[in-house]
C-alpha cells in the first residue's frame, strides 16, 4: 500500500460492482489514518458523475472510510446543521494514492435533528439482479446497513458533533 500521511490530498474513486467508475471527487485532505479508519476532509471539491456531469460541493465534508466495515460516512456541515450521507460500500483501499471503494447503492441519510432514513432500496434490488450479487454479498451488504444503523442509534463515533467539529478544525488548519 502507498504510504500516505496527514495533509496528503487524495482523489476518491467510487465504483459499482461491475467495475465501472460511478463517481469521483477531485480531492480529500487526509486528517487521520489508523489501522481501522481513514478520515479526510474536503470543501468546494469537484465531483464528476459517470455520465460526465460535474459540480462543486457547496459545504465542507468530513469523510470516514473504514478498512473492515461495509460503509463509509460523509458528514456534511451545512448552514442548517450537521447531516450525514452514509454509503453502504466495500471497505476502502488505496491504489496509487487514490482512495477507492465499491458503492452498493443503499444509503443512510441522517438529518440534523438526528432522524434518519434508508434510501435507494429499489436501486439496490435492481443492481443486485442485473449485476448478479451473490447471496453472500447480499448478506454482507445488509449486515453493513444494520451495523451502521446500530452505530447511529447509539450515537457512537463518528455521529457526534464534537468529533466532526474537531476534524473540521484540523481540516481548516491544514488548508489555510
* DSSP character string of 54-121: EEE-SS-EEEEEESSSSEEEEEEEETTEEEEEEEEEPPPEESSS-EEEEEEEEEEEE-TTS-EEEE-H
Residue with cell 488548519: 173
Residue 23 appears among annotated catalytic residues: yes
Q: What share of the chain is helix, strand, coil (3-state, %, to 5)?
A: 25, 40, 35
CA–CA gap between residue 119 and residue 117 (Å, rounded)? 6
**Residues 19, 143, 123, 153: is their CA dihedral positive or negative?**
negative
Tell me what pLDDT residue 106 has: 97
- Beta carbons of 90 and 101 less than 8 angstroms apart: yes
Tell me what pLDDT residue 2 has: 57
Tell me what pLDDT residue 108 has: 98
Q: Which of 95, 41, 33 is nearest to 66 (CA)?
A: 33
pLDDT in tens, the chain (176 residues): 458 999 999 999 999 999 999 999 999 999 999 999 999 999 999 999 999 999 999 999 999 999 999 999 999 999 999 999 999 999 999 999 999 999 999 999 999 999 999 999 999 999 999 999 999 999 999 999 999 999 999 999 999 999 999 999 999 999 99
Q: Please give the model's pTM, rounded to 2 decimal places.
A: 0.97
Omega within 30 of 0 (cis) for the link into 158: yes
* Active-site choice (23, 53, 67, 117): 23
Tell me what pLDDT residue 3 has: 87
Amino acid at each position: 500500500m502507498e504510504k500516505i500521511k496527514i495533509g496528503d490530498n487524495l482523489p476518491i474513486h467510487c465504483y459499482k460492482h461491475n467495475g465501472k467508475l460511478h463517481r469521483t471527487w477531485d480531492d480529500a485532505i487526509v486528517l487521520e489514518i489508523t489501522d481501522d479508519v481513514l478520515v479526510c476532509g474536503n470543501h468546494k471539491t469537484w465531483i464528476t458523475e459517470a455520465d460526465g456531469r460535474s459540480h462543486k460541493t457547496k459545504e465542507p465534508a468530513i469523510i470516514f472510510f473504514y478498512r473492515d466495515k461495509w460503509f463509509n460516512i460523509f458528514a456534511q456541515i451545512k448552514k442548517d446543521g450537521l447531516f450525514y450521507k452514509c454509503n453502504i460500500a466495500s471497505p476502502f483501499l488505496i491504489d496509487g494514492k487514490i482512495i477507492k471503494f465499491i458503492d452498493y447503492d443503499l444509503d443512510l441519510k441522517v438529518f440534523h435533528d438526528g432522524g434518519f432514513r434508508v434510501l435507494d432500496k429499489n436501486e439496490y434490488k435492481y443492481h443486485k439482479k442485473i449485476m448478479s450479487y451473490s447471496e453472500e454479498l447480499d448478506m454482507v451488504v445488509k449486515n453493513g446497513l444494520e451495523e451502521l444503523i446500530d452505530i447511529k442509534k447509539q450515537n457512537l463515533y463518528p455521529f457526534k458533533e464534537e468529533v466532526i467539529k474537531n476534524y473540521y478544525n484540523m481540516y481548516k488548519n491544514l488548508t489555510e
